[in-house]
């Protein structure tokens, strides 16, 4: 088993890491880049706010036609790849106080085996392949994985499923 090279944050005293295998099974396609004002983690909000600054999501070709219809939603879900994260932490001490430790899955920390970030953002506008949104919390240049309408505002476009499957 080879070991994934870790980047980004330091391990705090008492935090626990494990050896992890190469992540070669799920092959993601980055469909765009997120442009934000933040180039340093210390400047980046922990969770985005709808009254935060405008951020731009650039959707790469050939995916621009996939934005058709998205403009009907005030709120959309953005999934992104927290590319500067460690991926080997199983317990974390977010405050660095040497006292309060939590399992990675009990946190929304960017340090996780598959560093997927999600935010429900306010959609300000779409112009061609560029979306303007508010409510992000990621570093400038973070890769975009997916965009979806807010599930609360979304009505399925497919036929109803048989009750037995619900």
Ligand X SMILES: C[S@@+](CC[C@H](N)C(=O)[O-])C[C@H]1O[C@@H](n2cnc3c(N)ncnc32)[C@H](O)[C@@H]1O
Binding residues for ligand X, rule: CB under 6 A, are 8, 41, 44-47, 82-85, 108-110, 117-119, 137-139, 142
Closest separation in Å from C-beta 104 to ligand X? 12
Residue pair 57/133 in contact by the 8 Å Cβ criterion: yes
Nearer to ligand X, 5 or 69 (CB): 5
Residue pair 98/110 in contact by the 8 Å Cβ criterion: no
* 3-class DSSP state of 51: coil
Nearer to ligand X, 77 or 156 (CB): 77
Nearer to ligand X, 40 or 160 (CB): 40
Partnered with residue 58 across adjacent β-strands are 33, 130
Q: Contacts for 21-29 with beta carbons within 8 Å, 24 or more apart?
A: 23/87, 23/113, 23/114, 26/114, 28/81, 28/145
Closest separation in Å from C-beta 153 to ligand X? 19
Closest separation in Å from C-beta 44 to ligand X? 4
Nearer to ligand X, 41 or 95 (CB): 41
């Amino acid at each position: 088993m080879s070991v994934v090279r870790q980047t980004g944050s330091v391990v705090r005293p008492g935090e626990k890491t494990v050896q992890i295998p190469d992540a070669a099974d799920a092959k993601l396609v980055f469909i765009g880049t997120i442009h934000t004002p933040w180039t340093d983690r210390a400047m980046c909000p922990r969770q985005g706010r709808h009254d935060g600054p405008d951020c731009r999501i650039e959707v790469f070709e050939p995916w621009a036609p996939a934005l058709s219809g998205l403009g009907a939603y005030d709120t959309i879900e953005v999934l992104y790849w927290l590319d500067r994260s460690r991926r080997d932490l199983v317990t974390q001490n977010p405050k660095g106080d040497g006292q309060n430790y939590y399992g990675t899955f009990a946190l929304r920390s960017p340090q996780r085996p598959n560093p997927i970030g999600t935010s429900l953002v306010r959609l300000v506008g779409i112009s061609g392949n560029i979306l303007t949104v508010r409510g992000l919390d990621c570093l400038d240049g973070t890769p975009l994985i997916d965009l979806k309408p807010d599930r609360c505002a979304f009505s399925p476009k497919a036929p109803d499923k048989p009750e037995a499957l619900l």
